[in-house]
Structure 1
Amino acid sequence: MVGPTLIDIREHIEALATEDGQYYLRCGRMGDRPVPAAGTRFPDRVTARAAARATEQYRSALQRYDPQVPFYDLIVCEETAQDTTVAHERNSETGSPPDRLSEPDLTDSATPERHDLVEFCHRVAGAVFETLSEAGYDSVEGAVMDTYFELAETVGDPDELCLCLLESMASELDERLFPADQAEVLADAATRLESPSEDGDSLERSLTALQQRGVIESYTRSPYSVDLDGGSGVVVVQISGYALSAQDGRLPVLPLTLELCRHHAEQSPQSVQVTAVDGDWQLTFGLADTGEQNGLVSAPIEGEV
C-alpha cells in the first residue's frame, strides 16, 4: 500500500536531517522547498543528496494517489555563515553541476499564483492521505481515489483536477467518518505540514496564508465573541473567490479548517456553519469545546447559492 511507503520515506528523510545542518533542498526552477523535505536541513552534501533521492521517491509514490503532483528539479543548496542561501551550481570538489534527479519540465506555463494554489492542494492531499493510511482508514482512501479517477476521465485541466481531489476528499471524509474522527484526522494532518510562525493572531495568519496561496481572493472577519484564553469562542469570516466549489448543497471546507488547525492546534475549530451571501461564503467557526462537532470537512449551506 502506498501510505506506509510515504510514511517510511518521510521518517527516513527526518532521520537524515539535523537542526544545525547547512544544506537543504529546493527546486532549481521554482525555488520551492518541496514536501517532505521542506524545513529540513542536512549536515553535508552527501546526506543532502541522499535526502533528495528519497524526496523524489516520496513524490513518485504520491503520484500514485495524485498523478498531477508537481515536478521538481531538485538541487542541493548551502546556507552561508551570513544566513544567506547560495545554490551550488557547481560542486566545489568535482566541478560538476548539482544533482538533478530527472530532466526538468520546461513546458510549465502556470502563473506563480496558480502554482502556489496547486502546490497547496497537493500538500494538503498528501498530508491527509498519510494520516488516513497510518490510521487504517483504507476504505476512505479507496473511495477518494475511485472518485478522483472517475473525475480524471472528464476533467481535462490538471489544475482543476487537483481542486477536484480536495473536493472529493472532503465529501468522502464527511460521509464515511464520524465528526470526532474527522477532527483527529485534521489534527494529525496539520502536524505533517510545515510549522507556521507564532507571531500575531492565529486566525489572521491562517486567512492571510490562504489568500496568499490563492485558496481565497479576499476575506473579512469579526472579532472573537469570547476571548480564546477563556477556552471558547465564535468567529465569523466572509470569504470571496473560494477556489473550491459547492457539492450537493455542502461546501468543502477541509483546506480551511486544516489551515486553522495548523496555526492554532491548541484550539482548532469544533464546528463550521456556512451561509451563502451575495456570491460569497460566510463561515461561522465554533471554537468552544461543547462536545458537538460538525461541518469540519464539508458543511451544509444555508441560503440560496
Structure 2
Amino acid sequence: MVGHTLLDIRTRLEELSVAVGPYRVVSAKTGHSPIPVSGLQFPTRATAAEAASVATAYRTALRRYDPAVHVQDLIVCDQGLSPAEEQFPAEDLPEYCHSVTAALLEILSRRDGRVQRSVMDRYLDAAENTPDRDRLSLLLIESLAEAIDAHYTARQQYDLLRATADRLPQSPGTEAPLRDTLSVLRSTDILHSFELNPVPDDGHRVTLHGYRVDDRDGDCIVLPVAVELLRRQSPPPQFGHVARTRDGWTVHLSSGAETPEGPLAVVPSG
C-alpha cells in the first residue's frame, strides 16, 4: 500500500479488538472468521464494523501478492447469532457504512487498486485522531465518494455503484424506491429527516435535514443515496441542482434515463 503496510492494517485490527467481546467479524457465506480477523473479538458493533472494513482492505491488498486468497463478504455477527440471523441494513451507522464501503472496496480492488489504497491510507491516517466511531465510518464513505469522483466518468461511476448495489442483499420491489431509500438512510442515522416535493419534469426536489455525510470542498456527497436507489431500481438516478441549506441539502433528483447523465458520487453545489 502507498504510505501504509499490511502490518499497519493488522496493528489497527489488534487495537480495535479485546480479549473477550460479544462481536466477531465473519464470512457471510461460511460463518467463520478469516485472516486477519480469525480469533479476534470486539467490544461493540461499531468497533466490529470498523474492523470489518479494515479487514476487507487487508484481504484485497493481500490478494495482490497471493491471488489464491478468496473474496469474502465480511459481516459483523453477535456471538449469540448466526450470520443468517443478522439483518441488513443494520440499525447503527457504523455497520451500515461498513456494508456499503466493504462492498465497494472489493469492487475497486479488482478494477483499480490505486483508489482503494488511497482511501485506506486516508482512513489509517485519521484513525488515530478520530475517536468518534460514527465520524470515522462516515469518513470512509466520504473518502470513497471523493476518490471515485476524482478518477471516474459518470458512466464508470454508474458501473461501480451498480456492481456495489448488486453485492448487497437485494431489496424487495417497491413502488416508492426514492422514499424507501431515504427511509433506510434515516433509520441508519445518516440523515435526520427528509421531504419529497414533486417537480414538473417527473422528478423530485429532495430536502435532506441533518445529512451527516460531508465533503471537504463543500459539495454534496450523494453516493449513499445512489447506492440505495440502485438496490431498488435499474435506471441510474440523475442528480441535478444541489444547494446547501441551514441543516442539510436540497437536491433535484430524477430517474428514467438509460445512461447516467451526471456524477453519482459527488455533485457540485451551486
Q: Give TM-score, length-normalised by structure 2.
A: 0.70
Change over 3 Å in CA distance of 1:77–1:184 after alignment to 2: closer
How many residues are matched?
Answer: 219
> Deviations for 1:61-107, whole angstroms, at most 9, x for unmatched residues?
7433569x98533456699xxxxx8xxxxxxxxxxxxxxxxxxxxxx
Indicate the residue corresponding to 2:212 in structure 1.
Answer: 243
Q: Within 5 Å, which residues of 2 pair with 1:55-94? A: 56-57=33-34, 60=37, 62-65=53-56, 72-75=77-80
| Residue 163 of structure 2 is aligned to residue 188 of structure 1 | yes
* 1: CA distance, partners of 2:190 / 2:57: 19
1:164 maps to 2:155:
no
Question: Which contiguous aligned blocks of 4+ residues in structure 1 show a shift greater than 4 angstroms?
Answer: 75-79
The 1:273/1:257 distance shift into structure 2, 3 A limit, reads: farther
Highest Rg: 1 or 2?
A: 1
Unaligned runs of 5+ in 1: 2-27, 41-50, 80-84, 86-113, 227-232
Shift of 1:289: 2.2
Residue identity over aligned pairs, in percent, reads 27
- 131 and 240 in structure 1: CA distance in 2 versus 1, 3 angstrom threshold: same
Query: What letter matches 1:155 in structure 2?
Result: T
**Structure 2 residue aligned with 1:268:** 236
- CA distance in 2 between counterparts of 1:59 and 1:75 reads 21
Contact map agreement 2:26 2:34 (CA 8 A) in 1? no
Runs of at least 5 residues in structure 2 that lack an aligned partner in the other structure: 2-20, 38-51, 59-73
Distance 1:182 1:274 in 2: 19
Please list the CA deviations of residues 257-297 of structure 1 after superposition, one character each: whole Å capped at 9, or x if unmatched: 11111111x21213343211233210111324275632310
Q: What are the superposed Cα offsets for residues 222-248 of structure 1, whole Å, 9 maximum, x if unpaired?
A: 23645xxxxxx4221101111212321
Work out the CA distance in 2 between the residues paired with 1:159 and 1:234.
32
Q: Distance in 1 between matches of 2:80 and 2:123?
A: 32
Change (3 A) 1:181 1:276: same
Compute the TM-score of the two structures, normalised by the length of structure 1. 0.62
Flag the structure with more relative contact order, 1 or 2, with Cα contacts below 8 A and sequence separation at least 6.
Answer: 2
Give the corresponding residue for 1:293: 261
Measured at CA, do residues 59 and 272 of structure 1 come closer, stay the same or move farther in structure 2, by a change above 3 Å? farther
Contact 2:53 2:101 in 1 (8 A): no
Measure the CA separation in 2 of the matches of 1:185 and 1:162.
20
3-state SS of the aligned residue for 1:235?
strand
Query: 1:174 Cα shift?
Result: 0.3
Could you tell me which residue of structure 2 aligns to residue 283 of structure 1? 251
Q: 1:293 to 1:143 in 2, by over 3 A?
A: farther
Distance 1:194 1:281, change over 3 A: same
Alpha-carbon distance in structure 2 between the residues aligned to 1:216 and 1:36: 29
Query: Relative to structure 1, is the Cα distance of residues 298 and 220 closer, same or farther in structure 2, using a 3 angstrom cutoff?
Result: same
Aligned to 1:82: none
How far the C-alpha of 1:153 sits from its partner, in A, is: 3.4
The equivalent residue for 2:66 is none
- Given that 2:190 and 2:212 are in contact with CA atoms closer than 8 Å, whether structure 1 keeps it comes out as yes
Distance 1:72 1:78 in 2: 6
Does 1:179 pair with 2:124?
no
Aligned to 1:219: 194
Quote the Cα distance in structure 1 between the aligned partners of 2:259 and 2:232.
22
Contact 1:147 1:168 in 2 (8 A): yes
